[in-house]
């Protein structure tokens, strides 16, 4: 399921304008200030036709026009200055709205439940943070303010027209209402196309992420051409839908423009006749025509705002979908265990678990007990559910049935931050983040001192590597640590975990990542760590397994047997077979 599967339900629940007001609320006074300045700009502009009428009157009666000219110049300058200030304040506010939305979204995405991440496309989520939030800028300035100030200016202009000449006003109003009906039909089409354009941008992000995340594999598979098609198709779709939205927007804008021209000609005809009969004087007609001309800007502002709002509404809905994805409660970061803290005890009690409601169970009643201290090895064929044990201990997922306890307390009652601060987790594929080696090591303990770092490097035998690297610890390791070897990546992950002084170390051993020398050294380290810490290791090496204090044999989501190597070789046929065939015998095993 992709994120967009929920789109219909979300947009039904909260209307976009409510969402928009939520983002705007913290900046409402700045927005109001900007809107008032825009209104003043509109009002000073509106005074111009009246001054012009006076000027023409003065001319006709051979009076001096200096005063009127001065007034006109002052108005024009004031208009420009206030307009500039208003524009700045509005843009400032709009950028703040974008910032607010981005911050809220990033905070939410970092706390997403892993189950929600499993169902999402990272590239699409990224597009929602970077691209969709940007659209809030225009929707804030142009739509919110545009509809407000444009609407007010429009209203004021119409009132002025009504006061100047009711007959010409009625003519103008008729034309404007006609245009509004046409525009009302066009607007929903803009929304639909914008929505699809943004979804396509998301799809493009997802396709790109897929490729750039595994560019070496794509190249090695000679799949550039095919992969490129997917991105091109998404880009093309975004283009197609954006062009469609542009077409409808242009049509709406020009319908508005056309209605003003029509009003202008009609007013000229009707007004001309009224001047001829002496119903109005020529100054009134000129003033009225200027008003018609002035109608252009607020009408286009309102129509543009409505069109823009449709694009913004699509983006708001996509942002909201991401914010509706289930997240863990935000908690304060918990302190790491103090040096020498008691090792943890872990127990699974009849745990049944599946990754999603529509997937088969992965654990069918898993039960085992691990006392504090010592090393427990988990062995079993691939897919047995060993890594899942670790994911559950980290509370990346919650078990459907049964109980998992740490120090005798149900994990469900542990504060997640406090739980994770007690654990050092080395994942199977030993992920290394881009950035420097140092960034990677102190990721789990930013307060680690230079001494701690040196000790961790020595323990994991990374000290030699650091000496060789051109910039030592500050050497950049590349995207996902591609500049390191597999074994080095794993040792970085172990050093990182050790720097957290964990009460419980989870080590998901990668198959054949370490050479014999480093492996033997690490095994000694792990044995050392196990004296003061509880160590759980998913083991693929006979050398690791034989060293364990107890071995949990898993198969197809069940625990088959628990015991020592000596016991299990005779007691459990599967274990005996694994020991004979599948374990990677290392040099000194």
Sites of contact with Mg ion (CB under 5 A): 387
Name which of 466 and 539 has its Cβ closer to ligand ADP.
539
Smallest distance, Mg ion to C-beta of residue 206, A = 26
Name which of 295 and 392 has its Cβ closer to Mg ion.
392
Beta-strand ranges (E) seen in 122-241 are none
571 vs 538: CA distance, rounded Å: 20
**DSSP assignment, residue 508?**
E
Smallest distance, ligand ADP to C-beta of residue 482, A = 23
Do 385 and 554 touch, CB atoms closer than 8 A? yes
3-state secondary structure of 380: coil
Q: How far is CA 172 from CA 67, 180, 509, in A?
A: 32, 13, 79
Smallest distance, ligand ADP to C-beta of residue 524, A = 25
362 binds, among ligand ADP, Mg ion, none (CB under 5 to 8 A by kind): ligand ADP
355 binds, among ligand ADP, Mg ion, none (CB under 5 to 8 A by kind): ligand ADP
Length of the chain, please? Answer: 589
70 vs 55: CA distance, rounded Å: 11
388 binds, among Mg ion, ligand ADP, none (CB under 5 to 8 A by kind): ligand ADP
Name which of 165 and 508 has its Cβ closer to Mg ion.
508
Smallest distance, Mg ion to C-beta of residue 385, A = 9
Smallest distance, Mg ion to C-beta of residue 366, A = 14
Smallest distance, ligand ADP to C-beta of residue 474, A = 35
The encoded tokens of residue 96 equal 């703040």
Max CA pair span of the chain:
122
Smallest distance, ligand ADP to C-beta of residue 562, A = 16
Residue with smallest beta-carbon separation from Mg ion: 387
387 vs 209: CA distance, rounded Å: 25
DSSP string, 44-101: HHHHHHHHHHHHHHHHHTT---HHHHHHHHHHHHHHHHHHHHHHHHHHHHHHHHHHHH
Smallest distance, Mg ion to C-beta of residue 396, A = 13
Judging by beta carbons within 10 Å of its beta carbon (0-12, 13-18, 19+), is residue 408 exposed, middle or buried? exposed
Name which of 45 and 385 has its Cβ closer to ligand ADP.
385
Name which of 387 and 475 has its Cβ closer to Mg ion.
387
417 binds, among Mg ion, ligand ADP, none (CB under 5 to 8 A by kind): none
Q: Helices 66-110 and 28-60: crossing angle, nearest 10°?
A: 160
Name which of 277 and 581 has its Cβ closer to ligand ADP.
581
Name which of 355 and 414 has its Cβ closer to ligand ADP.
355
Among the listed residues 532, 549, 443, the one whose alpha carbon sits nearest the alpha carbon of residue 494: 443
Name which of 325 and 466 has its Cβ closer to ligand ADP.
325
Q: Which residues bind ligand ADP (CB under 6 A)?
A: 118, 355, 359, 362, 380, 382-388
150 binds, among Mg ion, ligand ADP, none (CB under 5 to 8 A by kind): none
Smallest distance, ligand ADP to C-beta of residue 2, A = 15
60 vs 54: CA distance, rounded Å: 10
Smallest distance, ligand ADP to C-beta of residue 302, A = 49
Do 325 and 116 touch, CB atoms closer than 8 A? yes
540 binds, among Mg ion, ligand ADP, none (CB under 5 to 8 A by kind): none
Name which of 266 and 387 has its Cβ closer to ligand ADP.
387
List, in order, residues 6 or more apart from 182 with CB less than 8 Å away. Answer: 255
The encoded tokens of residue 545 equal 């397994």
Name which of 369 and 387 has its Cβ closer to Mg ion.
387
295 vs 169: CA distance, rounded Å: 12
Do 474 and 516 touch, CB atoms closer than 8 A? no
């Amino acid at each position: 399921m992709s994120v967009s599967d929920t789109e219909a339900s979300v947009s039904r629940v909260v209307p976009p304008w409510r969402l928009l007001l939520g983002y705007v609320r913290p900046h409402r006074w700045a927005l109001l200030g900007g809107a008032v300045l825009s209104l003043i700009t509109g009002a000073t502009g509106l005074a111009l036709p009246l001054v012009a009428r006076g000027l023409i009157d003065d001319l006709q009666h051979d009076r001096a026009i200096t005063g009127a000219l001065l007034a006109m110049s002052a108005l024009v300058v004031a208009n420009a200055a206030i307009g500039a200030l208003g524009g700045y304040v509005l843009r400032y506010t709009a950028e703040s709205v974008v910032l607010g939305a981005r911050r809220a979204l990033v905070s939410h995405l970092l706390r997403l439940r892993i189950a929600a991440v499993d169902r999402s496309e990272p590239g699409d989520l990224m597009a929602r943070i970077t691209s969709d939030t940007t659209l809030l800028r225009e929707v804030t300035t142009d739509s919110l303010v545009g509809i407000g100030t444009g609407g007010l200016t429009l209203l004021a202009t119409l009132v002025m027209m009504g006061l100047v000449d009711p007959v010409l006003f009625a003519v103008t109003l008729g034309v404007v209402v006609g245009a509004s009906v046409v525009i009302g039909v066009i607007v929903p089409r803009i929304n639909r196309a914008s929505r699809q354009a943004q979804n396509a941008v998301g799809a493009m992000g997802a396709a790109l992420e897929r490729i750039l995340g595994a560019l070496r594999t794509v190249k090695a598979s000679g799949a550039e051409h095919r992969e490129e098609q997917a991105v091109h198709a998404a880009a093309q779709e975004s283009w197609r839908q954006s062009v469609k939205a542009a077409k409808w927007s242009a049509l709406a804008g020009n319908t508005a423009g056309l209605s003003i021209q029509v009003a202008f000609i009609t007013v000229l005809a009707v007004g001309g006749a009224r001047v001829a009969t002496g119903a109005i004087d020529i100054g009134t007609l000129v003033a009225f025509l200027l008003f018609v001309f002035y109608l252009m800007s607020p009408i286009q502002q309102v129509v543009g705002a409505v069109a823009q709002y449709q694009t913004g509404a699509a983006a708001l809905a996509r942002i909201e979908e991401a914010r509706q994805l289930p997240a863990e409660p935000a908690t304060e970061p918990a302190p790491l265990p103090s040096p020498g803290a008691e090792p943890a005890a872990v127990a699974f009690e009849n745990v049944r678990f599946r990754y999603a409601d529509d997937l088969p169970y992965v654990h069918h009643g898993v039960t085992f007990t691990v006392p504090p201290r010592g090393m427990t090895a988990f062995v079993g064929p691939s897919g047995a559910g060993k890594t899942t044990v670790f994911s559950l201990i980290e509370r990346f997922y919650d078990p459907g049935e049964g109980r998992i306890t740490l120090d005798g307390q149900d994990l469900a009652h542990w504060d997640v931050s406090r739980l994770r601060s007690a654990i050092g987790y080395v994942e199977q594929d030993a992920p290394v983040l881009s950035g420097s080696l140092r960034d990677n090591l102190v990721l789990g303990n930013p307060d680690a001192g230079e001494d701690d770092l040196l000790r961790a490097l020595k323990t994991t035998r990374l000290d030699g590597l650091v000496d060789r690297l051109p910039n030592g610890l500050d050497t950049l390791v590349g995207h996902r640590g591609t500049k390191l070897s597999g074994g080095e990546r794993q040792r970085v992950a172990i050093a990182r975990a050790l720097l957290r002084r964990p009460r419980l170390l989870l080590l998901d051993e990668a198959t054949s990542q370490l050479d014999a020398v480093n492996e033997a050294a690490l095994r000694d380290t792990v044995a050392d760590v196990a004296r003061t810490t509880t160590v759980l290791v998913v083991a693929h090496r006979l050398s690791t397994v034989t060293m364990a204090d107890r071995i949990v044999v898993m198969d197809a989501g069940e625990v088959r047997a628990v015991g020592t190597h000596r016991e299990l070789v005779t007691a459990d046929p599967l274990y005996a077979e694994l020991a004979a065939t599948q374990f990677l015998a290392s040099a000194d095993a």
